[in-house]
């Protein structure tokens, strides 16, 4: 892992804002070279999707399982500007459990503007866990590959603080109180708690919106994306191997050895034992 990750460790102010709001914006999370390459790769994926019979210019690309499709997707799993903030929130016992590319073209003329599909992440988890509010379990890092600086550009909508309020109940078509439309520049990122009530929205602009998400969770959670990358396990460094789901045994997802979680050792060596979240 690159040493400059230490320049982006979660600050006390960032931690406080994340715990209060359920999300954190990270300006200029991607370099110009990263942004250009990821944009080009995403465009290639969109072209392949558009070539599928029955797919029109208005269909949204929702592509999962990105690791292995291009080296740039692999490089994002421990991106210096965001990864230290992820472990600052979740701790060292983590994995990458989900990846997703969403490309939202301009909607047809006359499409209804605004947010739709309000939800909390991880589907059945929200029904199966009994407490309210539920435990965090996972966070997502979303990278804005296109500018969403104005309303109506398929922006992400969130309800700040809703991760602490339990599961909202909305009638059909109803919008939650306190909702906020997130704006960002191309290359920015957002880190958000999976319990945060959030929503997609219509793209009533003339610009295609490109959004890339990486989900991190505790190692004992089953992945939402295909993470059986044995061919990469022998090529990547130990921390990336941990993030890709390596474990020395089934029980070691729950009771890890140092070999299972080299991130713990790395944090202790560079920041001291006090930096280790239990």
Q: Are strands 209-218 and 180-181 parallel, antiparallel or unpaired?
A: unpaired
Least confident of 61-70, 102-111, 116-125, 227-236: 227-236
Residue 29 has pLDDT above 90, yes or no: yes
Most confident of 55-59, 228-232, 249-253: 249-253
Q: Average of pLDDT values for 136-140? A: 97
CA dist., res. 245 & res. 228, Å (int): 8
Q: Looking at residue 261, what is its pLDDT?
A: 97
Burial class of 167 by CB neighbour count within 10 A (0 to 12, 13 to 18, 19+):
middle
- Top-confidence residue, 230 or 91: 91
**Token digits for 92?**
């060292």
- The percent of residues in the chain predicted with pLDDT above 90, rounded, is 79
Residues contacting residue 107 through CB under 8 Å, at least 6 positions apart = 58, 202, 203, 204
Reported as a single tens digit per residue, the pLDDT across 155-192 is 999 999 999 998 777 777 778 889 999 999 999 999 99
At which residue do the structure tokens 């190692």 appear? 219
Taking Cα atoms as reference points, which of 269, 226, 262 lies closest to residue 247? 262
Residue 256 has pLDDT above 90, yes or no: yes
Confidence of residue 131 (pLDDT cuts 50, 70, 90): confident
Q: Average of pLDDT values for 200-215? A: 95
CA dist., res. 266 & res. 238, Å (int): 10
- Top-confidence residue, 126 or 196: 196
Measure Cα distances from 163 to 81, 108, 139, 147 in Å: 24, 33, 11, 26
Contact yes or no for 197/34 (Cβ under 8 A): no
Helix (H, G, I), strand (E, B) or coil at 210: strand
Contact yes or no for 63/101 (Cβ under 8 A): yes
Q: In the beta sheet, which residues pair with residue 25?
A: 190
Over its C-alpha atoms, the chain yields an Rg (Å, rounded) of: 19
Reported as a single tens digit per residue, the pLDDT across 210-250 is 999 999 999 999 999 887 777 777 789 999 999 999 999 99
Arithmetic mean of pLDDT over the chain: 93
Q: Looking at residue 175, what is its pLDDT?
A: 87
Measure Cα distances from 8 to 93, 173, 273 in Å: 19, 40, 18
- The percent of residues in the chain predicted with pLDDT above 70, rounded, is 100
Q: Average of pLDDT values for 74-96? A: 96
CA dist., res. 116 & res. 156, Å (int): 10
Q: Average of pLDDT values for 243-262? A: 95
For the domain spanning 3-230, the CATH number is: 2.60.120.620
CA dist., res. 219 & res. 247, Å (int): 9
């Amino acid at each position: 892992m690159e040493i400059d990750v230490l320049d982006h460790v979660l600050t006390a102010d960032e931690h406080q804002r994340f715990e209060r709001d359920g999300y954190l914006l990270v300006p200029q999370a991607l370099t110009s070279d990263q942004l250009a390459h990821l944009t080009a790769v995403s465009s290639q994926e969109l072209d392949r999707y558009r070539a599928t019979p029955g797919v029109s210019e208005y269909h949204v690309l929702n592509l999962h399982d990105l690791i292995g499709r291009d080296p740039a997707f692999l490089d994002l799993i421990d991106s210096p500007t965001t990864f230290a903030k992820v472990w600052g929130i979740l701790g060292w016992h983590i994995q990458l459990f989900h990846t997703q590319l969403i490309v939202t073209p301009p909607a047809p003329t006359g499409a209804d503007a605004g947010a739709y599909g309000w939800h909390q992440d991880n589907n059945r988890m929200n029904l199966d866990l009994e407490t309210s509010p539920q435990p965090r379990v996972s966070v997502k890092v979303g990278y804005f590959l296109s500018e969403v600086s104005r309303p109506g550009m398929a922006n992400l909508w969130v309800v700040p603080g809703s991760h602490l309020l339990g599961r909202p109940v909305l009638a059909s078509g109803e919008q939650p109180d306190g909702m906020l439309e997130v704006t960002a520049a191309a290359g920015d990122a957002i880190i958000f708690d999976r319990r945060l009530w959030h929503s997609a929205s219509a793209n009533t602009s003339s610009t295609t919106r490109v959004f890339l998400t990486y989900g991190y969770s505790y190692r004992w959670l089953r992945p939402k994306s295909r993470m059986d990358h044995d061919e990469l396990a022998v090529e990547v460094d130990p921390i990336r191997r941990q993030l890709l789901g390596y474990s020395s045994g089934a029980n070691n997802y729950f009771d890890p050895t140092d070999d299972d979680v080299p991130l713990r050792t790395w944090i202790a060596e560079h920041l001291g034992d006090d930096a280790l979240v239990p």
